[in-house]
Amino acid sequence: MKSLLSKDKLNKLGFDTKQMQRQCKITAGKLAISLLKSFSELKVDSLTALYREFTALFDENTQKKTFYNQLAKTTFPHFMKELVSDMLSHFVIQSIRFQDKSVFSEFGRILIQNGTSFAVHHGLHEHFPGRFKTNHKSAVELHVTYD
């Protein structure tokens, strides 16, 4: 989790998404951390609450307008989308990984195969003959492999 929310990684994300053009008092890392903390711990009912949390957390004496301008940038939604996407990817991988002592930890991959049939219009029988003739004479089948 520390590497996921490291100052360097968050600041790089800020530059990659064009949220930050240069280093300033409100870095992408500080902004992300303060917003995540605010939304996870507080009942946020205004932008002022976000600003207060930011200034309290980082002991920064920045102008409200400077803070609000960061949130108003057209790149801000993309920055937050990438941040949340990275976090969700990290947590999904952690949650589906097998424990070291699990019997499944011995396997490098587990493949699950499944198939299903879908009935199509009976006029398509010549092109899509189904294998089950009792209900529908024409059908298509979908076979999938989960990895």
Assess if residue 103 is contained within a domain: no
139 and 87 in a single domain? The answer is: no
* Full DSSP string of 13-62: HHHHTTS-SS--SS-HHHHHHHHHHHHHHS---SHHHHHHHHHHHHT---
The helix, strand and coil proportions of the chain, stated in percent and rounded to the nearest 5, come to 50, 10, 40
Q: Residue 17 falls within a domain, yes or no?
A: yes
* 118 shares a domain with 53: no
Stated pTM of the model? 0.61
- The Cα–Cα gap between 127 and 138 comes to 8
Confidence label for 75 from pLDDT (cuts 50, 70 and 90):
very high
Q: What is the pLDDT of residues 125-145, one digit of tens each?
A: 888 887 776 666 788 888 889
Do 116 and 88 reside in the same domain of the chain? no
Residue at 87 is within a domain: yes
Is residue 1, in this structure, part of any structural domain at all?
A: no
What percentage of residues in the chain have a pLDDT greater than 90?
16
* Mean pLDDT score across all residues of the chain: 84
Tell me, yes or no, whether 92 and 125 share the same domain.
no
- From CA 128, how far away is CA 118, in angstroms rounded? 10
How many domains does the chain divide into? 2
The answer to whether position 21 is within a domain reads: yes
Mean pLDDT of 42-59: 88
Give the per-residue pLDDT at 121: 85
pLDDT grade for 59, boundaries at 50, 70 and 90: confident
Q: What is the average per-residue pLDDT within 24-45?
A: 88
pLDDT of residue 133: 66
What digits encode the pLDDT tens for the residues 79-132? 999 999 988 888 777 777 777 787 777 777 778 899 888 888 888 888 888 777
Same domain as 79, residue 34: yes
User: Do 83 and 120 belong together in one domain?
Assistant: no
Where residue 119 falls (left for φ over 0; alpha for ψ -120 to 50; beta otherwise) is beta
Domain for residue 2, yes or no?
no
Any domain includes 101: no
Range of the domain at 139: 112-146
Question: Do 16 and 79 share a domain, yes or no?
Answer: yes
Both 51 and 21 in one domain: the answer is: yes
Q: Do residues 67 and 135 share a domain?
A: no
